[in-house]
Amino acid sequence: MSSLDLSFFPINSDSTLLSSLPSISISFDETKAKMMQFTAKFDKFIMNMKEKQLEEKNRHSKAMAGDREIQKTLQNQVENYKQIEKNMLLAVEKEKQEVMEAELSISEFKEKKAMMSEKREYLSQQIQDINQIIQKKRELRANMRHMLIKQASKNQPELKFWEDYLAMKIEGVKDDFLKIVFTHIDENDWMREFYFIINLSQRDYEVTECSPPLTTINEIVLKLNQSRDFFEFLKDMRKDFKKIVRFS
């Protein structure tokens, strides 16, 4: 281990302060090792973020292909329904002629026609409902994709600041789930971990696990979903973890 001794005043044989001045020993090897460890962790985090972005892109492409397949299926169903409707109308006309020829009851014909009309309206409403569902899913996917891209671009330059300022680290649990771990909260045990797991798969965030539990977790998450300020949310979580230690 290399070291460097520094003195703050020039050598003076007549000075009585020289013997009492401290010397500073700086461990360059240890500092270099810590910097290399941090660089390795940061590179791994960046790689994971790029992999997640690629996975999200592939997932989106797959979802779009699924949407096109659903749209194609719906179009085929619409054509089938039109053909069914056409066949029904032909059947009605034929039945009407048969009823007229057989002098059957006019009321029976009207009843059958009303039933077919109701069925046609029901099928049309189903198609409309399905189209609305597809549109909502597309909008949700587009919003989530925009949010993840925006969040990823913010996370990369802010990661070191979050880790240093809030004494925290971010771990990937599984797809769309992050584990946030805080330390340096408990003065009796600086390395004690306080963590929570947050679900990013939906538009509204959701904390699925929190240790130790926070009675205010629902209020904090509600504030996050309203403000969309993730950094403020992290500060609120750390603040409430400190309150638990203070009043325990």
pLDDT over 90 at 225, yes or no: yes
- Across residues 107-133, what is the average pLDDT? 84
The Cα 137–Cα 143 span in angstroms is: 10
Q: How confident is the model at residue 239 (pLDDT cuts 50, 70, 90)?
A: very high
* pLDDT per residue as tens digits for the range 126-166: 888 888 876 765 665 555 445 544 655 565 666 666 667 77
Was domain 167-248 assigned CATH 3.40.50.300? Answer: no
- Across residues 66-82, what is the average pLDDT? 86
Q: What is residue 6's predicted lDDT score, i.e. its pLDDT?
A: 44
- For the chain, what are the domain ranges? 49-156, 167-248
- Across residues 229-244, what is the average pLDDT? 91
Residue 24, CB half-sphere, CA atoms under 13 Å: how many?
A: 5
Q: Where does residue 175 fall: left (phi above 0), alpha (psi -120 to 50 degrees), or beta otherwise?
A: beta
* pLDDT per residue as tens digits for the range 164-209: 777 888 888 888 888 899 999 888 999 999 999 999 888 899 999 9
